[in-house]
A and B are shown apart, each in its own frame.
Chain A
Amino acid sequence: MRRVEQVAIIGADASAWMAAAAVMRSLGATGVRVRVIELPSLLQMVDTYSALPALDGFHHRVGLQDRKLLEACKALPIAGQRFSGWGGEMPQFMHGYDRPAGDTKLDFMHFWTKGRQEGLRSDFESFSLGATAAKAGRVPVPVKGATLGATYGYNIDARAYSALLRHCTLQQGVESKVATVADVEIEGERIAAVILEDGERVEADLFIDASGQQAVLIGQLPGTEFESWREWLPCDRMLVASGNALRPYPSFSQISAFQQGWIGHFPLQDRTAVVAIYDSREISDQEMAEKLPGLARLPINGDAVVSELNQGMRKRGWVGNCVAVGESLFSLEPLDAVQLHITHNCISQLMTLFPVEAEAFPEAEAYNHILRIVATNLRDFQLAHYKLNQRLGEPLWDRCRDVAIPETLQRKLDIFAARGHIPLFDFETFQEHGWASLFIGHGVIPQSYDPRLDLLPEQEQIASVHQRMEDVISRVEAMPPVEEFIANPARENSVPAPSMG
């Protein structure tokens, strides 16, 4: 029984380097050798990653500091995303990155629901620390001992991020070679070797496919058919361009729906990434490019780049000695900053399930099972935006509203509408407050509240609501604006990286 000694990663950009960094950091000391076959980058100058707060955990694990991220990648801290034009009573809503309360007291959600029934006019988001910080252009830096908390993600220049990760990873002893793949030798369900265009035969105990939608390895293995999610997520095109930087720097990204899809503004330090996600059945690429400056309400600098978007998932991500991470396994539009999160999650699960020997991989089944649940939960979250849209009379949006949604999402919607609870399953990315913010933002108001609330005298309930709003306001006032944060980034990792070695 032999350990996995040689790991070969075939891919490009963030996925490949994240995988390499994770494996090397965790297992380099035990003698595992990591080699990256660097395929041509798919990234353009205009490309941007929007990252969820959770990515901080990965950076901590591989020793990448926030300061470096800000400097090298022109990153901006993002406390939430604002959604406009999705219809309904609320012209827009802010989804802030709140931290869960952590104690067992009754969720504030119920205080608000009852308050609203009794005439409270304030929006739910005025009680959200993250949303309020985002609206005020502040950054929710951690405060020791505070029960009320919020956090932040980043918008990151994709090429710079990729280069930064590459640099850090190579420094750790990872080998790399720039190449393209000519052939993949398969024996049953195993990859025997990857043949490069210069003839080199790359063998390894474990192959990691980090090649994005090309899926150069996993796509060759049996039982890995791609299943499209288009019935729920109709958009199949991504158009990316750049506009001027927004000053002063905002601390949120903006997602605006329009007739054929949505436009995202993702501010960075030196520019604003403008991303159009749309359905090619509704509008052609040409028309979209022409429409962009008007919709973006920002002059566009340079060219816009169009690419295909295939949202969906492969039936299996780990077959034999080959594991797909990132978009080679499943892909979603960047509606809720999930793109890097997909890769992060895959790598995280791979490390948890890292094979103990090189001949047999029963871990594969667990990986596939878990990632399917992860992907389903992420898909459901994004799909909820589409289902709950109120853009009446527009074909794309009418269809999305009418479609039958998966049972998993229906259940969450039903329980929330009934009682303001969010039933969470295993492997959920977004927690209760995330879902609540999404639902309420789209106009789903709970019809009742948790009856235990009324154990508190009415006066106390009202006082709690007032106190909460005051706390939010005073906390946000104390937070640094983005410019100040950039000069002095401070992230306290309250939870030490899990000790796996």
Chain B
Amino acid sequence: MSEPLKIVILGGGTAGWMAAIALSTFMPRDRCHVRLVESEEIGIVGVGEATLPQIKNFNDSVGVDEAEMMRATKATFKLGIEFVDWGAKGSKYIHPFGVHGPADMAHIFHHRWLRAVQQGRKSGIEDYSFAVQAARHGRFDFPDTDTSKIDSTYSYAYHFDAGLYSAHLRRLAEQRGTTRTEGKVREVIQDPESGDIRSLVLESGETISGDLFIDCSGFRSLLLDKTLGVRWEDWSKWLVCDRAFAVPSERDELSPFTRSTAMEAGWRWRIPLQHRTGNGYVFSSSFIDEDAAAEALLRSLDTKALADPRMIKFQAGRRVVSWEKNCVAIGLSSGFLEPLESTSIYLIQVAALQLLPQLPGKRIDQRLRDEYNRQIDKEYERIRDFLILHYKLNRRDDSEIWRYCAAMEVPESLTRKIELFRHSGFIERYHGLFSPPSWLSVFIGQGLIPESYSPFADTMPEDKLISFLDGLRSEIHDKVQEMPRHDQFIERYCAEAPAIPVAEGMSQ
């Protein structure tokens, strides 16, 4: 067996430790050695974070126990995101991790609902989403595995302290063979001919050599940008926000969803954790000055602030490639999209996992690198377009940012999707984020009601349609009432280390 690949991860945090644990878990020990270099001195952009259901797959596959993880990270469950004031002022809707309608009616349900609405029915589509109703009523339980049941029609994710999460992963990764080195990088040594990165020289003088480098150095992008000079692709003309203030506040009611509230010059997040609430205001400095933004955030808090607001600057966009020469950027070093749909950790997960099948030998095969970059391109673009969708479909006209966004030109593929939905309620299906139920919730939620609906929805006799919808709404309502409250569920499942064993059927 040829010599193991030396992989050096620069930077800890969620990006570094997710990459470390993925490599340490899924690669045979004699295939690669993983070393992570981080400095306690360097602040990590750690705010209370929301995630997507894919994180559970990741955790399961690397052997992270759910309850244990949630206890360690003060996590709560997330059934979706509530968007307040993104449509007209006063409107609110939930983008759920689940479908609208019953389990077996995937692509036709919303057409049936549209038909009923056109015929005078007054109930919103949210009445027919189990996940939305559970979220609105502050309930949580694990979905039923019987896919014919109405309470199987959703999945879930978490809110957690990302710093605690990466610490949790670190323990596991180190157990599996990742070596951790404390230190700050003073110099990066490149091969004079190829330009490949050969080693990192720390301030202590220690030199760390490697075959493959993973840049998890955050916004600084010490390797991909500062050393290899990979260009930046700017998306700020569509996603205009360029700052965020973050501030923790006292624990509030544990709603099982993230809240995003549109503000004068951006939007505010509210992330419930077990021990406190994470808050932030993502804004555009072109439309509000920093002090006003900080004030607006503090004024809007539901509970008492626990610190001063901290600001970060950013720009929406990404490096034109994530993998250049022998360096792969994961996390903020590869690009940034605002956390409107909780996609930051998802992008890290994808970047880490996608590296596994393409993991090179000592000599980097360009074909593998190109394929990796192509996969990551797709992921970023899809998310970007979905975020743009939120801004484009806003129905506010009470401040400049909203007028700008409603009027801005957007990518052609997005325009096509919007126009087709407007015409007929049609939603394109494709692999990856975001699924049709996601598009549906944002379209309808932000007030884009189609002019017509699929003729296939006409095949159900009218009286049947009405009784079907009535029945479904009641079924969902009744089932949700039976569910435990989210805060009580957390209490029992993962609040403190249990004195008695966890009740049966609670753990997955």
**Chain A interface residues toward B at CB < 8 A:** 1, 3-4, 26-27, 29-30, 32, 353-357, 360, 362-363, 365-366, 369, 411, 414-415, 417-419, 421, 423, 426, 447-448, 450-452, 454-455, 498-501
Contact = CB atoms under 8 A, between A and B. Distances in A.
A3 B452 CA distance: 10
A414 B371 CA distance: 9
Please provide the 4 A-B residue pairs with the shortest distance between their CB atoms, ordered closest to farther. Answer: A501-B459, A356-B424, A418-B367, A356-B452
B384 to A, nearest CB: 18
B367 A417 contact: yes
Contacts, number: 106
Contact of B361 (A29, A448, A501): A448
A67 B108 CA distance: 32
B419 interface: yes
Interface string B429-442: 01100000000000
Given A415-B368, A419-B358, A3 B455 contact: yes
Contacts of A365: 416, 420
Interface string B21-35: 000001110111000
A430 to B, nearest CB: 16
A499 B27 CA distance: 43
Contacts of A369: 416
Contacts of A454: 28, 30-31
B368 A419 contact: yes
Contacts of A3: 455, 458
Given A366-B428, A421-B357, A360 B423 contact: yes
Contacts of A419: 357-358, 365, 367-368
Contact of B27 (A32, A355, A452): A452
Contacts of A29: 459
Given A30-B458, A356-B453, A418 B368 contact: yes
Nearest to B453: A356
B123 interface: no
Contacts of A455: 26-28
A362 B371 contact: no
Given A30-B458, A30-B459, A362-B420, A451 B359 contact: yes
Contact of B455 (A32, A418, A448, A451): A32
A27 B455 contact: yes
A356 B423 contact: yes
Contacts of B420: 362-363, 365-366
Given A414-B367, A426-B430, A426-B431, A452 B456 contact: no
Interface in B425-470: 425-426, 428, 430-431, 451-460
Contacts of B304: none
Interface string B353-373: 000111101000101101100
Nearest to B450: A356
22 contacts: A1-B451, A30-B456, A30-B459, A356-B453, A356-B455, A357-B452, A360-B423, A362-B423, A365-B416, A414-B370, A418-B367, A423-B375, A448-B361, A448-B365, A451-B356, A452-B27, A452-B356, A455-B26, A499-B104, A500-B456, A501-B456, A501-B459
Contacts of A498: 107
B121 interface: no
Nearest to A29: B459
B19 to A, nearest CB: 15
B45 interface: no
Contacts of B497: none
Nearest to B375: A423
B254 to A, nearest CB: 33
B374 interface: yes
Nearest to B423: A362
Contacts of B426: 353, 356, 363, 366
A381 B72 CA distance: 51
Main secondary structure, interface of B, reads: loop
Nearest to A28: B459
Contact of B357 (A353, A366, A414, A450): A450
A450 B360 CA distance: 10
Given A411-B374, A447-B365, 13 more contacts: A354-B455, A354-B456, A362-B420, A411-B370, A415-B368, A418-B371, A419-B357, A455-B28, A499-B105, A499-B108, A500-B108, A501-B108, A501-B457
A26 B456 CA distance: 7
B148 to A, nearest CB: 13
A415 B371 contact: yes
Most chain-A CB neighbours within 10 Å: which of B108, B356, B424, B431? B424
A274 to B, nearest CB: 40
A366 B416 contact: yes
Contacts of A426: 430-431
Pick the most buried of A354, A447, A501: most chain B CB atoms within 10 A of its CB.
A501
A500 B455 CA distance: 9
Contacts of A1: 451-452
Contacts of A501: 108, 456-457, 459-460
Nearest to A107: B357
A353 B107 CA distance: 12
A498 B419 CA distance: 25
Contacts of A362: 419-420, 423-424
A74 B64 CA distance: 58
Nearest to B417: A366
A419 B358 CA distance: 7
A373 to B, nearest CB: 11
A363 B451 CA distance: 14
B358, B361, B428, B456: most-surrounded residue (chain A CB, <10 A) = B456
Nearest to B461: A29
A306 B458 CA distance: 47
A499 B105 CA distance: 7
A493 B105 CA distance: 19
Nearest to B413: A369
A124 to B, nearest CB: 19
Nearest to B378: A425
Contacts of A363: 420, 423-424, 426
A411 B371 contact: yes
B365 A418 contact: yes
A414 B430 CA distance: 24
Interface in B89-142: 104-105, 107-108
A415 B26 CA distance: 21
Contacts of A357: 424, 452
Contacts of B104: 499
A30 B455 contact: yes
Contacts of B28: 451, 454-455
B447 to A, nearest CB: 20
B140 to A, nearest CB: 27
Nearest to A354: B455
A450 B353 CA distance: 13
B27 A451 contact: yes
A455 B368 CA distance: 20
A452 B105 contact: no
Contacts of A366: 416, 420, 426, 428
Contacts of B459: 27, 29-30, 501
A354 B454 contact: yes
Nearest to A361: B423
A450 B454 CA distance: 44
Nearest to B459: A501
Given A4-B455, A27-B455, A362-B423, A415 B367 contact: yes
A450 B371 CA distance: 14
A421 B371 contact: yes
Nearest to A426: B430
Given A30-B458, A360-B423, A363-B424, A452 B26 contact: yes
Nearest to A457: B28
A27 B425 CA distance: 18
A448 B371 CA distance: 15
Nearest to B416: A365
Contacts of B454: 354, 356
B372 to A, nearest CB: 10
Contacts of A423: 371, 374-375
Given A411-B371, A414-B370, A499-B105, A451 B31 contact: yes
